[in-house]
Amino acid sequence: MTDKTSNKMWGGRFAAGPDAIMEAINASIGFDKRMAAQDIAGSRAHAAMLAATGIISDSDAQTIREGLLTILSEIDSGSFEFSTALEDIHMNVEARLSTLIGEPAGRLHTARSRNDQVATDFKLWVRDQLDATQAGLMALMRALLGQAEAGADWVMPGFTHLQTAQPVTWGHHMMAYVEMFGRDLSRVRDARLRMNESPLGAAALAGTSFPIDRHATAASLGFDRPAANSLDAVSDRDFALEFLGAASICAMHLSRFAEELVIWSSAQFRFVALSDRFSTGSSIMPQKKNPDAAELIRAKVGRIFGANVALMMVMKGLPLAYSKDMQEDKEQVFDAADNLMLALAAMEGMVRDMSGQKENLAAAAGSGFSTATDLADWLVRVLGLPFREAHHITGSLVALAEKNGCDLPDLTLEQMQTAHDAITQDVFDVLGVENSVNSRTSYGGTAPAQVRAQVALWKERLG
Ligand code: ARG
């Protein structure tokens, strides 16, 4: 006789139930309950198909489908009792269905396995996340566009090596991130297109001898088609890895921008004022306004990329088809998805609320000899000097200004002419930062006209 504590879903050949430690390491219900809605949607589609193909009766399918809806509302209302002994969401739902509707519940698992079931549920969950990530990215991009539009012609220093390089516009800097998040968006869309094939009906690994209709279940779950190989369908998690890969890159972009906001909001820079809503105070130093949201966003990439690495390590070396190792896929993806969404939302809020400090940006734009390249270009364009020579002459003028403790536009014409006697008063036109940015009209350059054109283009793309 079978011990009554053995598992009623698979305990036929077992004389005893699992050790408590076995139950603890085996159970996934603690986290995979997050896929309840997907599990129920998959089961409802499967039941409908089983009836349409004559594998179960219409009335059984009807009872099953209604029972599943009841379970969904129990879960939504919080009255559902999850059981660790029932391992995972799939068996928790099925056991409850059996209590609710009796015998027909046992027919639901015909021509299906938990292997194709979990692959389907998880795909549906990841697909929802890809959609949510798209929405989050678009909201952030719209916030950046708002900043870019408002400050299309605000001048600020552009940096390389975090040293003043050339003046750029605030709008141009914001639009650089729009490009980055735009590529993140396209990575997410691309991943969604590739992953949208249904594993349901692959059964345990080999397909089934029942006359199922995989095209029907695929269509009813919003997949483009059924996955073409049953072994592959139940055993790969590359769709989750693509999500984590895209999420990691996106988090890296968020982290870079967050770092800039941390620097820019410091008393030494004062390029940006973050709103009170997205800052915190210090418990000891009353003057402090800390950019905690930016700092946490900067840090999130660690756990998100960590999830990517962890799942990659889980999957490497697994023989086909399903192995229980793959149960370790979910917590990583859930955690990465939650934190990515939070980081995107926090960044969007910060960007919407922040105010660029136009005056401070402009003052900084003119310091640090930021128009030295404009001076060298003028020597090439107007005096016809080779660029290397112009570079050298400009370098000597920078050294002179540095010695005098002034900036390039503060030098007199006579001082300029000590470096090259053909220099004329006109040179001062290119030493102003406004002229500098206005002159950079090459495609993709920092000129306000270029920035405005890019803003218009992205507005149209984002719809
Ligand atoms: N909880 C399992 C998982 O997340 C479901 C699949 C179990 N399949 C099995 N053959 N034991 O992967």
- Is the beta carbon of 147 within 6 A of some atom in ligand 1? no
- Is the beta carbon of 88 within 6 A of some atom in ligand 1? yes
**Index of the ligand 1 atom closest to the CA of residue 89:** 1
Is 253 a catalytic site residue?
A: no
In this structure, the residue with its CA closest to atom 11 of ligand 1 is: 324
**Index of the ligand 1 atom closest to the CA of residue 324:** 12
* Chain centroid offset of residue 411 CA: 49
Average pLDDT in the 150-159 region?
98
In this structure, the residue with its CA closest to atom 1 of ligand 1 is: 88
Question: What percent of the chain lies above the pLDDT cut of 70?
Answer: 98
Ligand 1 centroid distance, CA of 113 (Å): 9
In this structure, the residue with its CA closest to atom 3 of ligand 1 is: 327
What is the model's pLDDT at position 238? 98
> Cα–Cα distances in Å, from 337 out to 22, 137, 231, 247, 289?
29, 13, 27, 8, 29
> What is the band of 9 on the pLDDT scale with cuts at 50, 70, 90?
confident
Q: What is the dihedral of CA 47, 50, 51, 53, to 10 degrees?
A: 150
User: Minimum mean pLDDT among 11-25, 153-167, 190-204, 345-359: which range?
Assistant: 11-25
Is 282 a catalytic site residue?
A: yes
With the most atoms of ligand 1 within 8 angstroms of its CB, the residue from 9, 115, 123, 334 to mutate is 115
- Is the beta carbon of 117 within 6 A of some atom in ligand 1? no
- Going by DSSP bridges, is the β-strand pair 355-356/163-169 parallel, antiparallel, or unpaired? unpaired
Ligand 1 centroid distance, CA of 115 (Å): 6
**Index of the ligand 1 atom closest to the CA of residue 87:** 1
Average pLDDT in the 434-442 region?
93
Ligand 1 centroid distance, CA of 300 (Å): 29
Ligand 1 centroid distance, CA of 87 (Å): 9
Ligand 1 centroid distance, CA of 102 (Å): 24
Question: What percent of the chain lies above the pLDDT cut of 90?
Answer: 91
What is the model's pLDDT at position 1? 38
**Index of the ligand 1 atom closest to the CA of residue 122:** 4
What is the model's pLDDT at position 383? 96
What is the model's pLDDT at position 444? 96
Average pLDDT in the 161-167 region?
94
With the most atoms of ligand 1 within 8 angstroms of its CB, the residue from 83, 84, 118 to mutate is 118
> What is the band of 5 on the pLDDT scale with cuts at 50, 70, 90?
low
- Is the beta carbon of 118 within 6 A of some atom in ligand 1? yes
In this structure, the residue with its CA closest to atom 7 of ligand 1 is: 114
**Index of the ligand 1 atom closest to the CA of residue 326:** 12
Average pLDDT in the 252-271 region?
97
In this structure, the residue with its CA closest to atom 2 of ligand 1 is: 327
- Is the beta carbon of 223 within 6 A of some atom in ligand 1? no
- Is the beta carbon of 115 within 6 A of some atom in ligand 1? yes
Average pLDDT in the 211-218 region?
98
What is the model's pLDDT at position 154? 98
pLDDT in tens, 276-325: 899 888 787 878 789 999 999 999 999 999 999 999 999 999 999 999 99
pLDDT in tens, 48-105: 999 999 999 999 999 999 999 999 999 999 999 999 999 999 999 999 999 999 999 9
Choosing from 77, 161, 209, 442, the catalytic residue is 161
With the most atoms of ligand 1 within 8 angstroms of its CB, the residue from 327, 328, 332, 334 to mutate is 327
pLDDT in tens, 101-132: 999 999 999 999 999 999 999 999 999 999 99
Q: Is the pLDDT of residue 14 over 90?
A: no
Ligand 1 centroid distance, CA of 90 (Å): 9
Ligand 1 centroid distance, CA of 43 (Å): 15
Mean pLDDT for all residues in the chain? 95
> What is the band of 2 on the pLDDT scale with cuts at 50, 70, 90?
very low
d(C-alpha 341, C-alpha 346), whole Å: 9
- Is the beta carbon of 114 within 6 A of some atom in ligand 1? yes
- Is the beta carbon of 322 within 6 A of some atom in ligand 1? yes
What is the model's pLDDT at position 209? 98
Ligand 1 centroid distance, CA of 118 (Å): 7
Ligand 1 centroid distance, CA of 217 (Å): 20
- Is the beta carbon of 326 within 6 A of some atom in ligand 1? yes
Residues in the chain: 463
Q: Is the pLDDT of residue 3 over 50?
A: no
